[in-house]
Amino acid sequence: MADANKKDFVYSAKAQTRILFEQASALNPYVAQARYLQGYNVIELMQKKSFAEVLLLLFTGELPDKNKAELFEKLMIALINLGPRHPAIKAAMVAGVSKANTEHLLPIGLSVLGGKQNGALEVEQAVIFFQENIKKSPTQVAEQLSGNRASHTEGEYHLCAGFGSHYGSIDEFSASLMQQLISDEHHKASFPFLHWAKQFSQALAPDNMGILITGLAGAVFCELSIKAREAIGLFQLICAPGVFAHGVEQTHKPITAMPMLSDEQHRYTSSS
């Protein structure tokens, strides 16, 4: 294809992975007889470990200790349903009621959930924010960021990834979730990122801001040694049940079961 004299990319002969080893069948090299996830036999994992533990193994390469497994399990419950007013879930719902193919509902919702604000990319940035600031004073970081804030901002404002206002107020539910995760430390585990997030939220409270759901996810992912890029898909993954549940619920209803705004409710103003 390419001129042999030209410099070209050097492509590997094979793809590589550290995650899964497939042991080939003795009868057919295209068939696996066993799978080893991060070195563990999948059948043994099935017998002895929870889904949450194996999910963390998949992304971090190691099985978590009990405290981390419990923390992750709790986060998975916290994020299982972002609520029917989250844009990602609204997108799945509107697609469901308008008779999009059912198999598209989850990808539709997760595409919307991939965003930089209230989405997975904000979680990624929140992980980076925590990693960069964990050794700093939360109060000082809050003061510095608040000082840089534009004087007039209209609508929801995210001071930094994972923190800000939610419909102009503190996100009370996310704050409650954070408080619950911290108070659940029955094994006296110290979760430094969650504690930092709590102090940072307290510093932001006078400005009607605090932790957002994306910040909570970011803090927990830091506790679990989930890397920033891995946090993107993991956030989408653990929010996925609620996205699909709300989307598929609407498929059983007629197309008229959700509002269709009238012409008067859709106001067009020419920009020219």
Partner 1 sequence: MDSTTYWEQRHNTIYSTVGHWQGGVDVIIAGYSLMTQLMPHCTFMQVHILNATGKLVDKAIADWLEVNFMGVSYPDSRIWCNQVSAYAADTKATVVAAASAAILAADSRAYGGGQTTRASMIFLQQAFAKFNKGYSFHDIVSSAKQVKGKPIIVGFARPIDRDDERLTPYKSRQKALGIPEGKFVRFAQQLSRFLDEHYHLSMNSGGYSAAFLLDQGFTPDEAYKIKAFAVISGAIGCYRDVEKLPPNSFLPQKCCDIDYIGRPIRKLR
Q: Which stretch binds partner 1 (CB under 8 A): 23-31, 44-52, 53-61, 180-188?
A: 23-31
Instruction: Verify binding: residue 104, partner 1, rule CB under 8 A.
Output: yes
Cα–Cα distance between 160 and 24 in angstroms, integer? Answer: 48
Q: Please calculate the CA angle 50-51-52 and round it to the nearest 5 degrees.
A: 90
Q: What is the dihedral of CA 147, 150, 152, 156, to 10 degrees?
A: -100
Calculate the alpha carbon distances from 240 to 67, 133, 209, 235 in Å.
Answer: 24, 29, 27, 8
User: Is-contact 146 207, C-beta < 8 A?
Assistant: yes
Q: How far apart are the first and last CA of the chain?
A: 50
Answer for which of 32, 107, 237, 248 binds partner 1 (CB under 8 A) is 107
**Residue 15 in contact with partner 1, rule: CB under 8 A:** no
Contact stretch for partner 1 (CB under 8 A) within 63-71, 80-88, 187-195, 197-205: 80-88
Using alpha carbons only, give the angle 65, 113, 82 rounded to the nearest 5 degrees.
Answer: 65
Beta bridge partners of 210: 164
From candidates 7, 135, 152, 266, binder to partner 1 by CB under 8 A: 266
**Backbone phi, then psi, for 56, in 5-degree steps?**
-65, -40
- Strand 163-164 and strand 158-160: pairing? antiparallel
* Residue type at 130 in one-letter notation: F
Interface with partner 1, residue 118, by CB under 8 A? yes
Binding mask 193-232 for partner 1 (x = CB under 8 A): ----------------------------------------
20 vs 257 by CB, closer to partner 1: 257
Q: Is 147 in the site for partner 1 (CB under 8 A)?
A: no
The stretch near partner 1 (CB under 8 A) out of 70-78, 88-96, 194-202, 218-226 is: 88-96
The tokens for 110 are 């997760």
CB atoms within 10 A of CB 117: 14
Q: Is residue 108 close enough to count as binding partner 1 by CB under 8 A?
A: yes
- Least spacing, CB of residue 265 vs partner 1, in Å: 8
Per CB under 8 A, 189 contacts partner 1: no
Q: Assign 206 to helix, strand or coil.
A: helix
Regarding 12 and contact with partner 1 (CB under 8 A), the answer is no
**116 belongs to the binding site for partner 1 (CB under 8 A):** yes
Stretch that binds partner 1, among 49-57, 63-71, 98-106, 136-144 (CB under 8 A): 98-106
Name the residues that contact partner 1, by CB under 8 A.
1-3, 27-31, 84-85, 87-88, 90-91, 94-95, 97-101, 104, 107-108, 111-119, 121, 153-158, 166-167, 255, 260-261, 266
